[in-house]
Amino acid sequence: MPNVAIVGATGAVGQEFLKILSERAFPVEELRLLATKRSAGKEIQWQGRALQVQETTPDSFQGIDIALFAGGSASTEYARPAVDSGAIVIDNSSSFRLDPQVPLVVPEVNPEDVAWHQGMIANPNCSTIIMAVALKPILALAGIKRVVVSTYQAVSGAGREGIEELEAQVGAWSRGEPLVSQVFPYQIAFNLIPRIDVFGEGGYTKEEWKMVKETRKIFHLPDLAVTATTVRVPVLRSHAESINIETERKVSIEAVRDALAQAAGVVVLDDPAQDRYPMPWDCADQDEVFVGRIREDFSCAKGLNLWVVGDQIRKGAATNAVQIAELLL
């Protein structure tokens, strides 16, 4: 059984790693919990064991087979030393995703790319993962010419601090007190913020460019036309996406629905007569990507629309990384 390290073990994604390793009965000989100096010494219960959090250093990975990095600045500092120590790194940060030497993997989409890793495998952006799982069966069925995606991203995408800020603002509003914004640039309670991460080339944000460039890399389609608008919404957990797709070949909506229903990791929840479609509240704490509102785009000869929801902490981060580790085994 492999020795496994979790870097960022006390954060939201790190805690989800612990939960998912247990749920999926992932075989672990030694589990080493790593975090910042501030968190070192904390004790975490896992599968009846009391594990003490250690400070992450370049020497933390001796004897480790698989290192799960929860993301953030720790990846740039410690991922390479972990590889040099003999560990295979599965990284949740954006640091290595577009590196041509590092596979960018969604197990339901391109599991074969794990085979060419050189000690490091990147986990895609959470919104990209959710979209890619929904796009894969359509690409196989009819080809894809163009994708237009608008996201509705939960505050937990900004970490535990995002959740706490939304809860604090709702509480302050209910008491008639001033609302304080520190995590987000503006009030998020009862509001939408059409900017996630910093602005970059062409007026697109870094989050939007992630969806464009990562999707192309995952599907090995460097010229795929993708455009994105990413929006932070006052939802605690699970990202939603409105995806408009222009296919290469004309197919029926029934064929699209059947392809999605048979796809790995996808649940079709699409019954307008019963007013049923995916919503963040219902899709939280689940690993599948939920697809509904499947319909033809009548403005385009080969167009269709999807409404997609997925838990970005699980499938969009921790579960996807553990699935990659399962491929390694």
Report the 10 Å Cβ neighbour count for 158. 19
d(CA 227, CA 236): 25
For residue 100, count other CB atoms closer than 10 A to its CB.
Answer: 6
**Strand boundaries in 47-164, DSSP class E:** 49-52, 54-55, 66-69, 88-91, 120-122, 144-153
CA distance 321 to 126: 11
- For residue 83, which amino acid is it? V
220 carries an active-site annotation: no
Single-letter residue type at 152: Y
Catalytic, out of 126, 220, 283, 300: 126
Non-local CB neighbours of 237 within 8 Å, separated by 6+ positions: 154, 156, 163, 280, 284, 285, 311, 312, 313
**What are 302's two structure tokens?**
């080969």
- Residue 49: CB atoms within 10 A of its CB come to 8
SS3 219: helix
Angle among Cα 124, 267, 24 to the nearest 5 degrees reads 65
Q: What is the C-alpha to C-alpha distance for residues 269 and 34, in angstroms, rounded to an integer?
A: 39
Q: Is 126 noted as a catalytic residue in this protein?
A: yes
Longest dimension (CA), the chain: 61
Q: Which structure tokens are listed for 11?
A: 């954060």
Instruction: Find the catalytic residue in 220, 239, 283, 300.
Output: 239
Find the Cα–Cα–Cα–Cα dihedral 281, 180, 14, 217, rounded to 10°: 70
φ/ψ of 202, rounded to 5, equals 70, 15
Residue 21 to residue 28: CA distance in whole angstroms: 9
Candidates 58, 115, 102, 110; CA nearest to 84 is 58
- Kindly list the catalytic residues: 126, 239
